Amino acid sequence: MSACGSGGCGTGDASMEGWPEGEASGCSAAAPFALQVLGDSMQPEFMHECIIVIDPEGVVRDECYVMAEINGENTFRQLRIHEEKIYLVPLNDLYETVEIPGIEVIKGVIVQQAGRRRKDRKFY
């Protein structure tokens, strides 16, 4: 992953439910993959049950959306860098911002939100 910024199920996490421990898929570790959003912490941009595409080799920069592993759980938030500190920020103000020690907890960058129709797809 190149450098340039919590909760459990139901709080805006990316779901990996049903995957064996330590195995995300049969794909290469560098291959983009899709997950379903659970919860409302990233609304209104990412609605509950929408599908996001994550690139493990995406460029991490201020204000990008990232998937991170915090306390053994996968979550995604907007990365913010302020005064050399790195934060994971939910879009929904009902949830707390979390400071992270560094980008090593970031597992990928959200590059697309899938939509039922081509016009509904968003790229980040």
Percent of the chain with pLDDT over 70: 77
- The yes-or-no verdict on residue 2 having pLDDT over 60 is no
- The yes-or-no verdict on residue 100 having pLDDT over 70 is yes
Percent of the chain with pLDDT over 90: 64
Sign of the CA dihedral with 79 first, then 81, 86, and 91 last: negative
Query: 11-17+30-117 belongs to which homologous superfamily?
Result: Umud Fragment, subunit A (2.10.109.10)
pLDDT for the residue numbered 13: 54
Q: Name every residue whose Cβ is closer than 8 Å to that of residue 79 and which is 6 or more positions away in sequence.
A: 5, 60, 61, 62, 63, 64, 65, 66, 86, 87, 88, 89, 106
State pTM to two decimals: 0.74
